[in-house]
Amino acid sequence: MKRVLLCAVLLAWSGLASAVVYKWIDSQGKLQYGDRPPDGVHAQIVEGLGNHSSRSEQPRPPVVSASSSQPARNAPPTQAAASTDDVKKAVDADVAQVKEKQCADAQARYKSLIEGRKLYKAGADGERQYLTSEEIDAERLNAKREIDATCNSPT
């Protein structure tokens, strides 16, 4: 019985010893630690218990925040202008991606309203409240307007 317990303890300890710990700064400027850093942040591997030389981690490239639009003081003017253009392109790509998602969500909502037979909303007590034909038509019109505003707007 002691051998089984000893094996279980050693097995659990070996799993903890092989864990990799990351540290990063969150959006509020606080230092955070964890086994998986969030996407889009520059995380560093913490040296210590969980770091083994056999495990190779690729360092993540640093993420330029939108608030750092000022060029670096030591950077040449052409490099600073190029990095500003890169930041603008990244922001434009992020905005386009969010807009595409909003458009897809609006289209999915409209499709469910068109294809649905018995549509309902959740009441205050969580019970289904089925919509009348007039309410369904109003929801369909609102969903179509949302598609027009989201998917067809130039900005």
pLDDT digits (tens, 9 = 90+) for 61-73: 455 444 444 444 5
Report the distance separating Cα 143 and Cα 130, nearest Å: 18
Nearest to residue 69, comparing CAs of 51, 83, 58? 83
pLDDT digits (tens, 9 = 90+) for 77-104: 666 667 788 888 888 888 888 988 889 9
Nearest to residue 61, comparing CAs of 89, 30, 39? 39
Are residues 42 and 63 in contact, defined by beta-carbon separation less than 8 angstroms? Answer: yes
Give me the chain's average pLDDT, please: 76
List of the chain residues with pLDDT < 50 = 51-61, 64-72
Q: First vs last Cα of the chain: how many Å apart?
A: 70
Q: Give me the count of residues in the chain.
A: 155
Say how far residue 65 (Cα) sits from the centre of its chain. Answer: 15
β-bridge mates for residue 4, sequence order: none
| pLDDT number for residue 11 | 73
Report the distance separating Cα 3 and Cα 12, nearest Å: 14
pTM assigned to the model: 0.43
Nearest to residue 22, comparing CAs of 1, 51, 43? 43
